[in-house]
């Protein structure tokens, strides 16, 4: 069983991810994902955010929404 290891991330690192989202829709998605992770009690880190984004990507209803998710995942993985 894998333990939920808390990897410290500085507030400035997380802030940089949040401010890098260019479009308001991307910022809203990222904000909702971060809120879900924090409320669930999990550690807020890149892996948790990416996992949640990939999970949500499976339920998108439009091409535009899918593009936003792909862009955010690429942003977190430092790929544009």
Cα torsion through 30, 31, 35, 38, rounded to 10: 60
pLDDT in tens, 20-63: 555 677 888 888 999 999 999 999 888 999 999 999 999 989 89
Question: Which residue in the block uniquely carries the two structure tokens 């936003």?
Answer: 68
How far, in Å, CA of 6 to CA of 22, rounded?
28
User: Residue 1's pLDDT band (boundaries 50, 70, 90)?
Assistant: very low
> Would you state the pLDDT for residue 36?
92
């Amino acid at each position: 069983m894998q333990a939920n290891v808390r990897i410290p991330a500085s507030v400035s690192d997380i802030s940089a991810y949040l401010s890098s989202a260019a479009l308001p829709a991307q910022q809203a998605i990222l904000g909702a994902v971060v809120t879900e992770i924090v409320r669930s009690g999990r550690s807020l880190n890149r892996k948790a955010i990416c996992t949640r984004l990939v999970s949500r990507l499976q339920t998108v209803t439009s091409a535009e929404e899918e593009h936003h998710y792909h862009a955010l995942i690429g942003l977190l993985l430092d790929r544009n």
